[in-house]
């Protein structure tokens, strides 16, 4: 198995824990352990009494039940808990794809969503969206990318890095195209419940199609990346069994304290999601004003979901040097778009409470 360098993680390894302002973060403001325990009476006592033994490979029954409540037709047995979204992506691709299979991956995307598909030996076709088209979903291009025996289609909504949402009509058509071929639909939904307009929230793909896998995470919407837990939900229990079989060779099972804290958090997920939606709602108008004022330097498609956007930098073909100078001189970290193969862009994150200070520093630095 050959893996290309994970450019985004290499970049963050250099800067994430030294930069003062993470103006590129894709996760929402994190919460403390005490905040999670305060959500439910008795949670602290249960945590302190917890035995630190092994846990069940598919995930603790209570956690799987809490995850199942997010969806309409998913039972606890239709959920597999993973070590964050990263293990879920790895396990899904390597359980379901073989050398010679064909897969389609929506791009730009989080790097592992493309590279891990390629690492299986499958023939991977990109369905690339374009800034020039407002990051619209070109279904004609998707149909051209598909083959009669396409095995899997990966999509992401709400979308990283653009912050755009997929229209329901587009998702329905993708389901139809997958069903015609018997293909799996692998839908990355880690920003679900952070829609700026709740009316735009889509159903989980697993609620629409038997061969869909919905990818979820505690990191983005709920502000709990330190728990390192994610999940796959699907009505296709044979696919989940294959994923569990592969997980036996990776993490085997999850951290017991993380599973307990995750269970408490998801039982009260509206509290955490509401908190982070409020931060996003307060910060987005500041970015609107910034990009209007700085229209000579930037252009963007206004995000409709999640805490990220992906503006174009005018007159700059490759933003990596700009980002390196910015963090060195101000402590403000933007993410260069080259990690998404969109080198003229930067990713901006607005899920953190200190965005006003970070934005003021960026504004002053630009002169």
pLDDT at 265 over 90: yes
Q: Phi/psi class of residue 154: alpha, beta or left (left: φ > 0; alpha: ψ in -120 to 50)?
A: beta
Q: Which pLDDT score, from 0 to 100, does residue 201 have?
A: 97
Does residue 92 contact residue 288 with C-beta atoms inside 8 Å? no
pLDDT in tens, 62-106: 999 999 999 999 999 999 999 999 999 999 999 999 999 999 999
Q: For residue 1, what pLDDT is reported?
A: 81
The closest alpha carbon to 351, from 100, 21, 4, 35, belongs to: 21
Instruction: Work out the angle at residue 301's Cα, subtended by the Cα atoms of residues 300 and 305, and round it to the nearest 5 degrees.
Output: 125
Tell me which DSSP letter residue 305 carries.
Answer: B
Q: CA gyration radius for the chain?
A: 20
pLDDT in tens, 278-331: 999 999 999 999 999 999 999 999 999 999 999 999 999 999 999 999 999 999
DSSP state of 71: S
Structural domains in the chain?
7-32+270-366 (3.90.1150.10), 50-267 (3.40.640.10)
Residue whose structure tokens are 């949670």 = 43
Please state, for a pLDDT cut of 90, what percent of the chain lies above it. Answer: 99
Q: Round to the nearest angstrom and report the end-to-end CA distance of the chain.
A: 47
- Asked if 62 and 263 count as a contact pair (C-beta separation under 8 A), the reply is yes
> φ, ψ for residue 128 (rounded to 5)?
-95, 130
Q: Three-state secondary structure along 321-363?
A: HHHHHHHHHHCEECEEHHHHCCCCEEEEECCCCCHHHHHHHHH
Q: At 2, is the pLDDT very low, low, confident or very high (cuts 50, 70, 90)? A: confident
- pLDDT at position 307: 98
d(CA 207, CA 216): 14
Could you report the per-residue pLDDT of 244-254, keeping only the tens digit for each?
999 999 999 99
Helix, coil or strand: residue 301: coil
Confidence band of 34 (pLDDT split at 50, 70, 90): very high
What average pLDDT is seen over the chain?
A: 98
Per-residue pLDDT reduced to its tens digit, 204-253: 999 999 999 999 999 999 999 999 999 999 999 999 999 999 999 999 99
Going by the DSSP 8-state scheme, the letter that residue 212 receives in this structure is E
């Amino acid at each position: 198995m050959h893996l290309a360098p994970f450019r985004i993680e290499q970049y963050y390894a250099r800067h994430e824990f030294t930069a003062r302002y993470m103006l590129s973060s894709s996760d929402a403001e994190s919460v403390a352990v005490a905040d999670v325990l305060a959500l439910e009476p008795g949670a602290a006592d249960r945590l302190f009494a917890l035995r630190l033994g092994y846990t069940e490979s598919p995930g603790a029954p209570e956690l799987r039940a809490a995850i199942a409540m997010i969806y309409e037709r998913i039972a606890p047995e239709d959920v597999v808990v993973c070590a964050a979204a990263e293990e879920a992506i790895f396990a899904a691709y390597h359980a379901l794809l073989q050398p010679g299979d064909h897969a389609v991956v929506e791009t730009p995307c989080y790097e592992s969503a493309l590279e891990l598909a390629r690492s299986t030996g499958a023939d991977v076709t990109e369905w690339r969206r374009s800034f020039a088209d407002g990051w619209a979903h070109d279904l004609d291009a998707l149909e051209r990318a598909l083959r009669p025996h396409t095995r899997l289609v990966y999509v992401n909504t709400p979308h990283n890095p653009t912050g755009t949402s997929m229209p329901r009509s587009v998702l329905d058509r993708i389901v139809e195209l997958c069903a015609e071929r018997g293909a799996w639909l692998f839908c990355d939904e880690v920003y679900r419940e952070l829609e700026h307009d709740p009316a735009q929230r889509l159903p989980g793909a697993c609620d629409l199609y038997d061969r869909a896998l919905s990818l979820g995470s505690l990191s983005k919407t709920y502000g709990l990346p330190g728990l390192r837990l994610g999940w796959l939900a699907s009505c296709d229990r044979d696919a989940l069994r294959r994923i569990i079989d592969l997980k036996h060779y990776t993490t085997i099972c999850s951290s017991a304290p993380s599973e307990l804290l995750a269970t408490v958090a998801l039982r009260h997920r509206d509290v955490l999601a509401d908190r982070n939606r409020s931060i996003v709602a307060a910060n987005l108008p500041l970015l609107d004003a910034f990009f209007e004022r700085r229209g000579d330097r930037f252009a963007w498609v206004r995000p409709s979901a999640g805490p990220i956007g992906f503006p174009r930098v005018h007159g700059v073909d490759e933003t990596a040097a700009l980002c390196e100078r910015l963090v060195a001189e101000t402590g403000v970290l933007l993410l260069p778009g080259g990690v998404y193969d969109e080198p003229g862009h930067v990713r901006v994150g607005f899920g953190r409470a200190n965005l006003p200070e970070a934005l003021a520093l960026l504004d002053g630095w630009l002169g």
